[in-house]
């Protein structure tokens, strides 16, 4: 099974559905949509640092959005599910599914990492 190396013992059933089975949480359901403090967003499965808070922006899309990832923290692959082609985002350490990457973000990168909030934990600095 893909992503069987994700640490299973510390994940909720919803986190497992998203991170291992490539699910998507309901839009607007994550409290991280409203998080504005300084800190880092880490992988809910393995704790790898993925995004800095200064790269987060409110895209009003229903999921936490970032215009840049921490170097080396993210891996991508082409996703052909749901009759479309998208770029899927995974944690580079544990391979857990995080969300998708789009080319409609703000400067300076023009990228939007659209990430499931339950795939993240926030560490305040």
Residue 6 lies in a domain: no
Residue 113 lies in a domain: yes
Residue 7 lies in a domain: no
Q: In Å, how far are 13, 61, 80, 111 from 107, measured between CA atoms?
A: 36, 17, 27, 8
CATH number at residue 100: 2.170.150.20
Q: If pLDDT is split at 50, 70 and 90, which confidence band does 9 have?
A: low
Residue 22 lies in a domain: yes
Residue 31 lies in a domain: yes
Domain span holding position 84: 13-124
Return all residues near 45 (Cβ < 8 A) that are at least 6 apart: 6, 7, 10, 11, 15, 19, 91, 94, 96, 119
Residue 43 lies in a domain: yes
Query: What's the chain's average pLDDT?
Result: 92
User: Does residue 97 have a pLDDT over 60?
Assistant: yes
Domain count along the chain? 1
Which entry of 43, 91, 94, 114 is annotated as an active-site residue? Answer: 114
Catalytic residue list contains 94: no
Residue 5 lies in a domain: no
């Amino acid at each position: 099974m893909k992503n069987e190396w994700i640490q299973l013992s510390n994940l909720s059933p919803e986190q497992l559905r998203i991170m291992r089975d490539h699910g998507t949480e309901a839009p607007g359901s994550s409290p991280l949509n409203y998080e504005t403090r300084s800190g880092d967003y880490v992988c809910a499965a393995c704790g790898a640092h993925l995004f800095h808070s200064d790269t987060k922006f409110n895209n009003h899309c229903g999921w936490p959005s970032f215009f840049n990832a921490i170097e080396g923290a993210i891996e991508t692959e082409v996703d052909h599910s749901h009759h479309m082609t998208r770029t899927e985002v995974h944690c580079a350490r544990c391979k857990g599914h995080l969300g998708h990457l789009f080319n409609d973000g703000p400067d300076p990168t023009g990228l939007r990492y659209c990430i499931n909030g339950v795939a993240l934990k926030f560490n305040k600095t």
